[in-house]
Amino acid sequence: MFMIRWLWKNMKGDRAIYCLALCMTVVCQSMYIISPYITQQIIDTFLVGEEAAENLRQGADRLIFMLAMMFGFTLLRCIIQYSSNMCYEHASQGIIYRVRKVLFDNIEKQDAPFYDRHRTGDIMTVVTGDLEMVRHSIAWIIKTTLECVILFSATMIYFFTIDWLMALCMLVLTPVILLITRGFKNVVGPFYVDLREKLSGMNTRAEENISGNRVVKAFAREETEIEKFDGCNKAYNEANKKAAFTWLRFFPGLEITAQSLSVVCLFFGGMFVALGRMTFGEYAAFAGLVWTLSNPMRTLGNIVNDYQRFTASANKIIELYYGRPFIVDREDAENIEGRISGSVEFRNVSFSYGETEVLKNISFKAEPGETVAIMGATGSGKTTLIDLIPRIYDVSDGAVLVDGHDVRMMKLEQLRGAIGIATQDVLLYSDTIEGNICFGNIDLSEEDAVKYAKAADAHNFIEKTSDGYDTIIGERGVGLSGGQKQRISLARALAVKPSILILDDTTSAVDLETEKHIQDALKQLDFPCTKIIIAQRISTAKNADRIIVLKDGTVAESGTHDELIRQDGYYREVYELQK
């Protein structure tokens, strides 16, 4: 019932048209007994019986009228059926549009832990294949279920009005159908859950190899990855066959039982006609409507089959539909007026990924306009440290403060709107270069886009591309070098005119001359800005107002360049290596 309520909730805007479709289905299926009823009257009045010939001579007009009625009702039924199908399709497309919109909104608003738990392939399966199964349930499963119920019920009511004993004979096989269907439902359910997981795994493998194709080629791993995908494909194939063959094991029983209704009708109907209990017309009505009993029985297996697939898909959709991020605005969040000045303070900050402690009791402060460089060996917690400022993650203990406000008490839009981030692993979109630079500030003028591209030393190479700033770059920046992507990423971060600029080893892929140009440009920005820079090069860090060296998640060293090279520590060691 929960799934039905969920579907009804998301049908808002199309409920009237869907209810109209359901009503048309009821009318359409009920009309199937009209033609057999007219056939019964024609046979008993004009074809058999002592007065049949006389009735045919005197009532030819009535016969023609009855035949015209059969044709007219058949045509009307077809029109209603077509109209209802159009309404079902309209409503089903409307619901998946709304659900997909909510799902994407939720995905966009999720925090980093969500993406740590869910693979890209899983999410893509939900918003594509699983949603299609929801559309199928609206446009087919519910419709077909209603058709079967109305057709079966209308036929049995009509049968009981003709002859109650013959009607009971036609019902004798129904319990057998129900038992077979129930057994199939109990067996096949887990198979479709497993089938959906296998599909998700296959999609994940495909997505990873498509996005990481360059790495695959660089290591000549094509054959290995093909084998791995083939393994996922084979697992999905086996799961599909297991579910399909399970249905096929039950299908003969359903089909034989459903088809046996014709034998029941022929045997008991013939006997009742011979005994004079029924007329030939009544028998013809029973024989003409046998399919209205056998077809619902036969279709019942398909309905159960598709319903199990729908349930497996709907459970995944609902999980994502109602999933909420943990990092959200508090109800009592502060509304900060004016531009953030850019003070950043870490006060006894600790952070853990699950049971793994990454940062331990970190404390330091960056005053507005200062430059703080973060250094340390790989895995020391540098990137995690800066992720705590815009609340990509929340601290486990202690507090991160911006302008004296705990970031957990600030509105996310205000906090993140005041921060510009350029990372080492750059993600560029399939858009123009200018579009990527303006990503965080869509109102940026063309002149400002050029200005910040120059500050990031990207203007010269952009001008040499085929269409300059209008050049379309490929997915994730395909066609650009690592250094070029980093410079566009830096220009994108500067374009929002942030109060706090976070650079995660942004100049690692550029030469020293370009790095010096960028450093000089960062000193001459036309807006006040506090800079937090993760650095591996001494040349990047030495001019910072403060250098913090992390080791095993703690602050091992802190000071200026001159102070740290006089100490016998990590910074001095790196300095000696890079001289």
Q: Assess whether 309 and 396 both reside in one domain.
A: no
Six token digits for residue 113: 């832990």
Domain extent at residue 312: 2-321
pLDDT of residue 536: 84
**Does residue 60 form part of some domain?**
yes
User: What three-state secondary structure class fits 224?
Assistant: helix
Neighbours of 550 (CB within 10 A): 25
pLDDT of residue 388: 92
CA distances from 277 to 45, 306, 330, 373, 457 (A): 17, 42, 78, 100, 98
Query: Quick check: is 459 in a domain?
Result: yes
User: What pLDDT, on a 0 to 100 scale, did the predictor assign at position 378?
Assistant: 83
Is 337 within the bounds of a domain? no
The whole-angstrom separation of Cα 244 and Cα 236 is 12
pLDDT value for 477: 65
Among 252, 262, 236, 251, CA closest to 305? 251
Cα–Cα dist 137/275, whole Å: 47
Q: How many CB atoms lie within 10 A of CB 398?
A: 19
Question: Which strand (E) or helix (H) includes residue 83?
Answer: helix 60-109
The DSSP 8-state label assigned to residue 32 in this structure reads: G
pLDDT of 475: 65
pLDDT for 85 equals 92
Residue 550 included in any domain: yes
Per-residue model confidence (pLDDT) at position 508: 66
- What is the per-residue DSSP string for 230-283? HHHHHHHHHHHHHHHHHHHHHHHHHHHHHHHHHHHHHHHHHHHHHTTSS-HHHH
Quickly list DSSP for 176-187.
HHHHHHHHHHHH
CA distance 258 to 263: 10
Give the separation between CA 103 and CA 114, rounded to whole angstroms. Answer: 13
Specify if 333 maps to a domain. no
pLDDT of residue 127: 84
Q: Which residues 6+ apart lie within 8 Å of 454 measured at CB?
A: 521
Both structure tokens of 175? 């319990």
Q: Tell me which residue has tokens 């399709």.
A: 89
Strand, coil or helix: 579: coil
If DSSP codes are grouped into helix, strand and coil, which group holds residue 531?
strand
Q: Residues 270, 317: one domain?
A: yes
**Two tokens at 518?**
């960028």
Distance in Å from the first CA to the final CA of the chain:
71
pLDDT digits over 194-237, tens only? 877 788 788 778 777 776 776 677 667 788 888 888 888 888 88
Q: Are residues 171 and 83 in the same domain?
A: yes
In angstroms, the CA 446 to CA 454 distance is: 12
Which two structure tokens, joined as six digits, stand for 371? 């430059």
Largest CA distance in the chain: 125
Cβ(352)–Cβ(396) under 8 Å? Answer: yes
How far are the Cα atoms of 47, 61, 281 from residue 57, in angstroms, in the given order?
12, 9, 19
Structure tokens at 99: 């659900």
The pLDDT assigned to 423 comes to: 81
d(CA 227, CA 219): 15
Q: Is residue 163 within 8 Å of residue 257, measured between CB atoms? A: no
Type of residue at 289: L
Sequence-ordered alpha helix ranges (H) in 472-554 = 482-494, 512-523, 538-541
Query: Looking at the structure, do residues 246 and 128 belong to the same domain, yes or no?
Result: yes
Q: Are residues 376 and 461 in the same domain?
A: yes
- DSSP letter at 355 equals T
Considering the domain architecture, whether residues 311 and 351 belong to the same structural domain is answered as: no
The encoded tokens of residue 427 equal 């993600």
d(CA 388, CA 187): 48
CA atoms within 13 A on the CB side of 51: 6
* 368, 526 Cβ separation under 8 angstroms: no
Q: DSSP string of 363-418?
A: EEEE-TT-EEEEEESTTSSHHHHHHTTTTSS--SEEEEEETTEEGGGB-HHHHHHT
Are 59 and 46 within 8 A, CB to CB? Answer: yes
- Torsion angles phi and psi, residue 49, rounded to 5: 100, 160
For residues 317 and 388, membership in a common domain is answered with no
Q: Which of 376, 330, 381 is nearest to 353 (CA)?
A: 381
Token couple for 70 = 């059969």
pLDDT in the model for residue 218: 67
Residue 256: its pLDDT value, please?
Answer: 82
In the three-class reduction of DSSP (H, G, I as helix; E, B as strand; rest coil), residue 527 is classed as coil
Q: How many CB atoms lie within 10 A of CB 332?
A: 6
Antiparallel, parallel or unpaired: β 554-559 and 546-551: antiparallel
Q: How many domains does the chain have?
A: 2
Supply the CATH number for residue 424's domain: 3.40.50.300
pTM here?
0.74
Over 48-80, what HEC string results? CCCCHHHHHHHCHHHHHHHHHHHHHHHHHHHHH
Of 258, 287, 321, which marks where a domain is finished?
321
**Does a structural domain hold residue 64?**
yes
The answer for residues whose C-beta is within 8 angstroms of residue 531's C-beta and 6 or more apart is 370, 371, 372, 500, 501, 502, 503, 522, 544
Same domain, yes or no: 22 and 154? yes
368 and 263 part of one domain: no
Would you say residue 85 lies in a domain? yes
Assess if residue 89 is contained within a domain: yes
- What tokens does 463 get? 């001008």
The answer to whether residues 284 and 359 belong to one domain is no
CATH number for position 118:
1.20.1560.10
- Residue type at position 405: H
CB 45 within 8 A of CB 280: no
Are 55 and 173 found together in one domain? yes
pLDDT in tens, 17-50: 999 999 999 999 999 888 888 888 888 787 776 7
Domain boundary (321, 355, 370) is at 321
pLDDT at 360: 93
**Is there a contact between 155 and 293 (Cβ–Cβ < 8 Å)?**
yes
pLDDT average per 10 residues of sequence, the chain (579 residues): 82 91 93 87 78 75 86 92 92 90 87 80 82 86 89 89 88 80 74 78 78 70 83 86 79 79 86 86 86 80 79 85 85 85 92 87 91 88 90 91 91 89 81 88 87 87 86 73 84 90 77 76 84 86 89 89 88 83
- Where a domain ends, among 321, 356, 379? 321
| 396 lies in the same domain as 541 | yes
Structure tokens at 198: 């296998």
